[in-house]
Structure 1
Amino acid sequence: MRRVEAAACSFWLCTSEPATVTVTLYPGVRMANNPGAPFAASPPTELRKFGERLYLGVVTVELGGANGGAPLTPGAIYSYDVSINGRTLTDEGLLEDQNPTGLPRRFALGYVSGRLPSFVTPAPTLDGLRIAHASCRKSNGDGPDALAWLDDWTDEHFSNLDGERIQQLFLTGDQIYADDVAACLLPMLNALGIELLGREERVVVDGVSDSLVRVNATSLPALRRRKLVRDVARFSSTECDNHLIGFGEFAAMYLAAWSPHVWREIPGGEALLDQLFRPLSDGVPPALCALLTDWEGCHGGREGTSAWREARGAEVLAERERVIAWRNSVGRVARLLANVPTYMIWDDHEITDDWNLNQRWRNRVYRTALGKEIVRNGAMAYALFQAWGNDPAAFATQGPNRDFLDDTARFLATEGLDDDGRREGANVIDRLDRALGMASGAPNTQVRWHYQVPGPRHLVVVLDTRTRRKFTGQGIAPPALIDSGEQLPKSPLVDGRELLIVVSPPPVIGPFVLESLGAPLFQTVGDFLYGGEHAAIRAERLCEPGGHVTGVEGADAEGWGANEPAREELLQRLAGFRRAIVLSGDVHYAYTMTVDVWIGNDPNGARVVQLTSSPARNNFLSIVEAVLRRHALLERYQAIDVPERLAWKGKASIVLPEGAQIKPGRRARMRRAPALVPAAGWPAGTTIDEPPDWRWRARLVRDERPESQLPAWAQRPQLSPEDELVVEKPATHLRAYRAIAARHQACALGGGYRQLRQMVFATNVGVLALNGSLFNNSPTPRNGNELGI
């Protein structure tokens, strides 16, 4: 299920054979054997060929207006059946559970045998709106797959009698991880990619001039791609031993993430180790051998394969167990995506870690042939598997989006020719690169990945924060993530809509204990390690090609907080709507924040609510969570810190009393344009000449419900009455202390309880239900002429 509006609903399909598809809608919940009269149907639509066994398309049912019939009713359930070459979902066996041996379980798409899948349209009022969002779902990550929990939710509320069924699902980035791929998974993806295309791809690798390099398990084996990716493509990913390279591998990764039907058995134990830990084939050209990770050299020469196997084998087998756990959830995720209108936007890992981080990264990577090959292949896969269904009309009408689909089909067909034939497709490659912003060209030739989704009472604006960045200089300066005038609508909302929802993959604002303290510290440490390492000779790092990355790359210094002027511009734009919600992911922990913004002397502030859900399956660094949870000072700072900022378009109009001293950093902030300074911590007697042009206050929201109102699994163990400490009875003290210590230990070490009231580090998915509480009781702003002393 993809885009749903009152006058149209779209369905994304992928088949292994040529297919003509028709989708038929029915009102309400329906069984396949007696669905009743149809509500509407799509015209027969032929899926488009992108490989010998790769046919893709978006099928749209158009309603109302010139198409006749009634539009979809807000808040209503509609079931649907799909005819593929005349065969229905029943004929294809998709409405029955199947449990093949050694492969993911396949679930009936209607949740019970013989029932059609269905969806719910957005509610007619804001209080009836139910939206889910998630991000960062990694195949080899730790923890459960949070999207499978959302499948449970859909099953529980399928008939929507309580109004709790999800109406829109936003996947806010890192739907796949192209860089961090499990060693056990890459051989399956490579073989599947070859099967999808009907041939082995070839890619240009800098330094291998005699021929194009085949993307197969012999030339580009698992566990040996790090040196190629770091030193040849010049990427900055540090987890890239098995980086996806060919288009077929990217396509296979998407299918493995969403479909149980494409999986093959993954060997385990010694069979897996035999497959992965082996010397390079004699058929690999010497020039290419020199560009692959030399594990034998790392472990003592030509006979080092066994030592390499001994050193990494246990890690590979443990990683396989995590992949199998992810694989076992794929059938449920497929069922979820067939029953909830789903919208997507990419972040960096769909291509590679730190993609388009800064101008230095772009200059370094886009000067290499291999770097551009990988980015191009990943972007073509993103267009087919994610972007097309977000806004089908943009890919159906004349313009850069449709041209990109056409050129993708031409490129994949040309790539199957011999070397000379492929090089004749240079014009197609050039157009693709210009459309992706990798080569210079007119702005109107670039693909538009951002889009909007209107609802009855809300408007969702999905931002592309990866390919429309504005860079300053040629170095590491953090970019402005968007041109706000291009991607955001003008305020206020029109057509009766009351609420703006913005999807920004990186959060607009985050907890200051991490954003203002943790990230700069991490960046400084990274720069220290990078500088010390590069005083040595890079070529000596056989076991870790590429070495450490810079602090900017390691700390991902590219979010909204890294470029304050760009964030301030965005907050001002959002303030014009009075109420706005931002849905984000990216950071591998979840939280809610409110930001109250006042423009000029207007006493009526606006409120922006930041909702962050991450990860669906990729836990945050355990050391960071441990420090936050066990350091009393950080816990206290996190709980009470309420950042307030005053801002002027030019320099700050603040007058310090004679002889007063402030820190150099604060003085520097006063002199910037725009000037953004804290509202507190000024010397006594400090005054303001001109009131600030805008100001804001942020607050990290805490779940304040009494413990008795939390779900049973989230409640801490309770002390029994006989374990209570009675001060007047010394005989009870030791027993009570023991009981209290035991409870504390159970909470700290037990897997069932985690601190979830403020920042959630467990895998998670967010569900949004509007009851007004986050928009009510907006605090009164501090007087514009007062500073916190």
Structure 2
Amino acid sequence: MVADILAGPILRRLTEQQLVLWWVSPYQVSGDFHCYIDDKQVLSVSLSPESVTTFRAGEKAYVHLLDIAIDLPAETYIEYDLLLKGETESEVKRLADMNPNLCYPGKNRPSFIIQDRINNLLHGSCRNPHHPSADSLLAGDEKVAKTLHDRQERPALLMMSGDQIYADHVAGSMLFAIHQVIALLGLNHESFTGSDLKDSEQLYQMSEQYFHRENILPQSKLASSWYKPNASQAIFTSTYAHNHLMTFAESFAMYLLVWSPSLWQHIKLEGFTVDAKNQALHQQEVSALKQFIAGLAKVQRLLAHIPCYMIFDDHDVTDDWNLTAQWEQAAYQDPLAKRIIGNTLMAYWLCQGWGNDPIRFKGDFWQKADAYQKTPKIEQHDDFIDYLYDFSHWQYTLDSNPKLVVIDSRTRRWRSEHALDDPSGLMDWEAMCELQQELIGQQAIILVSPAPIFGVKVIETIQRVATLLGHPLAVDAENWMAHPGSASTMLNIFKHPKTPQHFVILSGDVHYSFAYDVELRFRHFSPKIWQITSSGIKNQFPQPLISILDKLNRWFYGPYSPLNFFTKRRSMKITARKIQGMGHKRLIEKSGLGYVELNDDGSPKYICDLHCDGSKTEFSESSEEMLP
């Protein structure tokens, strides 16, 4: 028998006026939500349709979103509980009864502290379950455990800035587990059009199901070489597309498996056919996944105790997602490719986007979603996906102090006017104008950009060269400076006279971490900008390559290099922070979770990465000017 809670509860949006909680159960729940201060009940809300919205993703899979108005004190330790009714009215199950590991030692309920002023926070991206590095969310769990009652030291929030799942890089054993979850929970079946695949059942029963999906992923004839006019090429060019997720059920099941240990007790990692070519890889993936699964109880506990905000990046959908206009043309004209992308976007909304700011998904959005959940047939499925493609409100803000502004750098691209195969800008003109309006009147801003706005110049140069050679997809050439329009517009936003005086930019994506201090040149009253990048939570850039790139960046783009005059950021002064105890090193590839402490004016007081072995990678005060 499966657990009463399959994933969650995950604490999502939390302010003095609003509380949002997300969880998945095998049935539609009823009961109550309670809050306590010093063991005294201070809030009781019935889990009714007025407070909880439910989305059915299968026979035994109900996603619940509790969204309630609250009037609870800030800076106060508050515990909460879900009281779920059983088969009889007298039977009530509390969170600690259903999952004792959800509470910290000595506690009977999860807790939170509402922090309107953000004194400190956790942030990170890129959590790949089968990567051999440790899952750094465990370091976040340890941080919360040590500061549970401390309203100054307990992190105010966890910002996940992309690649919470890897839909395009899935271990064979993970895909095998996903298919067991689909059968166990009776997740939605789906049909396909415009493809040799008839439906999801045919896909799941294919003889070469694992490690060979690149053979059934859609192909395109666009952009074939002139000497191969009828040649085809893969639309999904990820090097690791051998087990690429394709159906909505697969994407949804993966979220359940990466956020909770509940279903793993019903799942086997082995028991399917693996050809000789992939045996060694398979054994490595199984070993890494076993380590990952062992830590999931603590991950589940962390997510229940800290407000979690999320935004997608490429791997939440697929590696090349909207990278160029040419790729978009190929992907969205192919029915199967369009469905695959739409399915991962559906799962993103359901498991990530919905809880960020629920009001954005009411009205027409909910009508489309509700139509699909009531009748999950091909017409309703396609209608919902079409609506998702037209939707332009994935970005959101939090009216905290400093204000948190999270941008969508994936679905509102500034397509190249020079060539269809040139990288698109990460935000178009309209989106940039909307961003500027969010910033006006603020003294300090926490800006979340999945990709660093100020990146490592030598890597951006390599991406630029690859683009000139016609291979932008090969190197993921999607940095902010790759598109002239979006680059100049973003830099002009920083130069605007009404821009905030302090910008803290949180980013991920790149599988290494660094910290830059940025100022405008030739300005007496320049805003101060800090680019803080932490990546990845469970991923890392390969050594020794990252050390080589780190050295090349210092050599070629140091403060006196003439190459500085040829960059789009020549009007900016950038100073790279040293890593304490590591000499001249500026980039750290070790898997970790970012931790930032802020001063009252919104400037960073302390920047580090937390690691599962208890160590920290600390970034010192500014010490060396780098390429602007």
> Which of 593, 596, 600 pairs up with 2:516?
593
Query: Which 5+ residue runs of structure 1 have no aligned equivalent?
Result: 64-70, 99-105, 278-307, 416-421, 438-444, 528-549, 647-665, 670-675, 680-694, 708-753, 782-787
CA distance in 1, matches of 2:290, 2:535: 21
| Corresponding letter in the other structure for 1:394 | R
Superposed, which structure 2 residues align to 1:196-345 within 5 Å? Answer: 196-198=185-187, 200-204=189-193, 206-207=195-196, 214-218=202-206, 221-229=209-217, 231=219, 234-264=235-265, 267=268, 272=270, 275-277=272-274, 308-309=275-276, 311-345=277-311
How has the CA–CA distance of structure 1 residues 642 and 18 changed in structure 2, closer, same or farther, with 3 Å as cutoff?
farther
| Corresponding letter in the other structure for 2:273 | L
> Which of 416, 441, 461 pairs up with 1:472?
416
Superposed, which structure 2 residues align to 1:56-67 within 5 Å? Answer: 56-63=63-70
Deviations 1:495-534 (A, max 9, x none): xx63111111111011223223x4345667xx5xxxxxxx
CA distance in 2, matches of 1:408, 1:699: 51
Aligned to 1:583: 506
Superposed, which structure 2 residues align to 1:682-693 within 5 Å? Answer: none
Work out whether 1:448 is the aligned partner of 2:393.
yes
How has the CA–CA distance of structure 1 residues 644 and 190 changed in structure 2, closer, same or farther, with 3 Å as cutoff?
farther
Aligned to 2:75: 75
Say which SS state the counterpart of residue 431 (structure 1) adopts. helix
**Cα distance, 1:493 vs structure 2:** 4.9
CA distance in 1, matches of 2:438, 2:246: 43
| Corresponding letter in the other structure for 1:235 | F
Work out whether 1:701 is the aligned partner of 2:577.
yes
**Cα distance, 1:407 vs structure 2:** 4.2
> Which of 374, 380, 386 pairs up with 1:434?
386
Aligned to 1:354: 320
- The answer on whether the counterparts of 1:174 and 1:349 sit within 8 Å (CA) in structure 2 is yes
Paired positions, count:
575
CA distance in 1, matches of 2:256, 2:605: 40
Deviations 1:117-170 (A, max 9, x none): 11122254x6xx111111000011121001111011111111116x21111111
**Cα distance, 1:769 vs structure 2:** 0.3
Query: Which 5+ residue runs of structure 2 have no aligned equivalent?
Result: 1-10, 221-233, 607-620
Say which SS state the counterpart of residue 592 (structure 1) adopts. strand
CA distance in 2, matches of 1:677, 1:246: 41
| Corresponding letter in the other structure for 1:354 | D
Superposed, which structure 2 residues align to 1:616-765 within 5 Å? Answer: 616-628=537-549, 634=552, 636-637=554-555, 640-641=558-559, 695-703=571-579, 707=581, 758-765=586-593
How has the CA–CA distance of structure 1 residues 148 and 203 changed in structure 2, closer, same or farther, with 3 Å as cutoff?
farther
Aligned to 1:418: none
**Cα distance, 1:107 vs structure 2:** 5.8
| Corresponding letter in the other structure for 1:275 | F
Deviations 1:29-55 (A, max 9, x none): x5xxxx223245465336332321111
Structure with greater proportional strand content: 2
CA distance in 2, matches of 1:432, 1:470: 24
Deviations 1:344-381 (A, max 9, x none): 00011111111111111011111211101111111111
**Cα distance, 1:403 vs structure 2:** 3.7
| Corresponding letter in the other structure for 1:240 | A
How has the CA–CA distance of structure 1 residues 168 and 212 changed in structure 2, closer, same or farther, with 3 Å as cutoff?
closer
Say which SS state the counterpart of residue 508 (structure 1) adopts. coil
How has the CA–CA distance of structure 1 residues 51 and 490 changed in structure 2, closer, same or farther, with 3 Å as cutoff?
same
Identity %: 26
| Corresponding letter in the other structure for 2:588 | V
Aligned to 1:160: 150
CA distance in 1, matches of 2:351, 2:298: 19
- The answer on whether the counterparts of 1:247 and 1:377 sit within 8 Å (CA) in structure 2 is yes
Aligned to 1:137: 127
- The answer on whether the counterparts of 1:21 and 1:47 sit within 8 Å (CA) in structure 2 is no
- The answer on whether the counterparts of 2:450 and 2:507 sit within 8 Å (CA) in structure 1 is yes
CA distance in 2, matches of 1:8, 1:135: 26
Say which SS state the counterpart of residue 480 (structure 1) adopts. coil
CA distance in 1, matches of 2:136, 2:192: 36
| Corresponding letter in the other structure for 1:551 | H
| Corresponding letter in the other structure for 1:253 | M
CA distance in 1, matches of 2:94, 2:75: 30
How has the CA–CA distance of structure 1 residues 478 and 322 changed in structure 2, closer, same or farther, with 3 Å as cutoff?
same
| Corresponding letter in the other structure for 1:760 | I
- The answer on whether the counterparts of 2:82 and 2:94 sit within 8 Å (CA) in structure 1 is no
Deviations 1:386-422 (A, max 9, x none): 01100012223x24x3344324425xx333xxxxxx4
Give the number of the structure whose alpha-carbon radius of gyration is greater: 1
CA distance in 2, matches of 1:330, 1:756: 36
Aligned to 1:402: 366
Work out whether 1:556 is the aligned partner of 2:476.
yes
CA distance in 1, matches of 2:57, 2:409: 28
**Cα distance, 1:608 vs structure 2:** 1.5
How has the CA–CA distance of structure 1 residues 248 and 449 changed in structure 2, closer, same or farther, with 3 Å as cutoff?
same
Aligned to 1:26: 36
CA distance in 2, matches of 1:755, 1:677: 29
* Cα root mean square deviation, aligned: 3.3
- The answer on whether the counterparts of 1:579 and 1:775 sit within 8 Å (CA) in structure 2 is no
Deviations 1:307-340 (A, max 9, x none): x42x321221111101111111111111000000
**Cα distance, 1:489 vs structure 2:** 4.5
| Corresponding letter in the other structure for 2:386 | R
Instruction: Judge which range, 769-778 or 75-84, deviates more.
Output: 769-778
Deviations 1:262-312 (A, max 9, x none): 1146656xxx3x6223xxxxxxxxxxxxxxxxxxxxxxxxxxxxxx42x32
Aligned to 1:148: 138
